[in-house]
Amino acid sequence: MSTDIQSAVTLPASSGLKQPYHLVDPSIWPLVGAFSAALTLVGIIFAAHYGNYVALTLGLACVAITMFFWWRDVIRESRTPGLHTPIVRLGLRYGMTLFIASEVMFFVGFFWAFFHFALYPEHVLGTATPMWPPEGVHTFDPFHLPFLNTMILLLSGTTVTLAHHALLENNRKLLIRGLAVTVALGLLFTALQVYEYGHAAFTYGGHIYGATFFMATGFHGFHVVIGTIFLAVCLVRAMRGAFTPEQHFGFEAAAWYWHFVDVVWLFLFACIYVIGAGANAGAGH
């Protein structure tokens, strides 16, 4: 047996286990999280159709509580000697990779919808001379706020990479600074996107362009918020000295997720803001 294989199957003797795998303790949080997500979805429907935000507020509160206690349990598990063996850490990496792959397919659906109507607008417009975007829709100037947000997100990708390299070199000060700047840039991106939405010359309803635009960019914005929270938790943990150069998968997974968010935005910017802007780009601003 080679040295690499031997190190991968080293048994966690300190935990009393006789195999290198970890069986997760029973937890109520996956079930609570599922019900919280369902309540949030129902709340969105009630808020959109009836202006009632009670269910949405309660659902988001339950999701936040689930995140806090579930992550707390995962962090405690990672600190238990012998549980996160090399094979377990490899499984965590496979799991995060498959999760990001599923998120990629999630956005493929939005891009598919946008290009389906952009390339064949006669399907919905039904006019003799169909055009995209539909007549009367004044789209964003791609090289105004969207371009600024692109630069902000790309810069945040460099700062999170800087923080990762600082951790590998055991430079705690630079690690914390890099993570703090990344979180700040994520918050700035979200604030500018909210401002952009508030000044849109078109709405979600009334035409397919608005629906596909706000669904694609809005769900990306939601992912930015989740990624910012993810990195903020890593920042708090880094300030408490939780990560080591040898064991820091929580931060590594957050960095992967953030780079995924960066790449998706580049496609959104190029395809929806630039290519799909049409002749009336910026006319409403």
The answer on pLDDT for 247 being more than 70 is: yes
Distance from the Cα of residue 3 to its chain's centroid:
37
What is the structure's pLDDT at 209?
A: 85
pLDDT tens track for 202-213: 887 777 888 889
What is the structure's pLDDT at 25?
A: 79
Amino acid present at 125: L
The answer on pLDDT for 161 being more than 60 is: yes
- Other beta carbons less than 10 A from residue 254's beta carbon: 27
Task: Report yes or no: 36 and 48 within 8 Å, Cβ to Cβ.
Answer: no
Which part of the chain has CATH 1.20.120.80? 84-285
pLDDT band at 226 (very low <50, low <70, confident <90, very high): very high
How many whole angstroms separate alpha carbon 265 and alpha carbon 110? Answer: 13
* Domain 84-285, CATH among 3.10.180.10, 3.30.450.40, 1.20.120.80, 1.10.510.10: 1.20.120.80
How many whole angstroms separate alpha carbon 209 and alpha carbon 144? Answer: 20
Task: Report yes or no: 51 and 118 within 8 Å, Cβ to Cβ.
Answer: no
Nearest to 277 by CA among 123, 111, 137, 119: 137
How many whole angstroms separate alpha carbon 223 and alpha carbon 220? Answer: 5
Which part of the chain has CATH 1.10.287.70? 21-83
| 27: its two tokens | 């937890």
pLDDT tens track for 78-92: 888 777 778 888 888
259 or 85: whose pLDDT is higher? Answer: 259
How many whole angstroms separate alpha carbon 217 and alpha carbon 265? Answer: 8
How many whole angstroms separate alpha carbon 235 and alpha carbon 107? Answer: 28
Task: Report yes or no: 71 and 33 within 8 Å, Cβ to Cβ.
Answer: no
Mean pLDDT of 96-107: 94
How many whole angstroms separate alpha carbon 277 and alpha carbon 283? Answer: 11
pLDDT band at 129 (very low <50, low <70, confident <90, very high): low
Least confident of 13-17, 20-24, 212-216: 13-17
What is the structure's pLDDT at 62?
A: 96
- Residues near 215 by Cβ (< 8 Å), separated by ≥ 6? 110, 113
Mean pLDDT of 225-249: 91
With a pLDDT cut of 90, the percent of the chain lying above it is 55
The answer on pLDDT for 217 being more than 50 is: yes
What is the structure's pLDDT at 4?
A: 46
Nearest to 191 by CA among 166, 224, 159: 224
Task: Report yes or no: 123 and 112 within 8 Å, Cβ to Cβ.
Answer: no
SS3 120: coil
The domain made up of 21-83 has a fold known as Helix Hairpins (1.10.287)
82 or 279: whose pLDDT is higher? Answer: 82
What is the structure's pLDDT at 241?
A: 87
- Highest mean pLDDT out of 30-39, 128-137, 235-244: 30-39
How many whole angstroms separate alpha carbon 82 and alpha carbon 86? Answer: 10
The chain-wide mean pLDDT, for the chain, equals 86
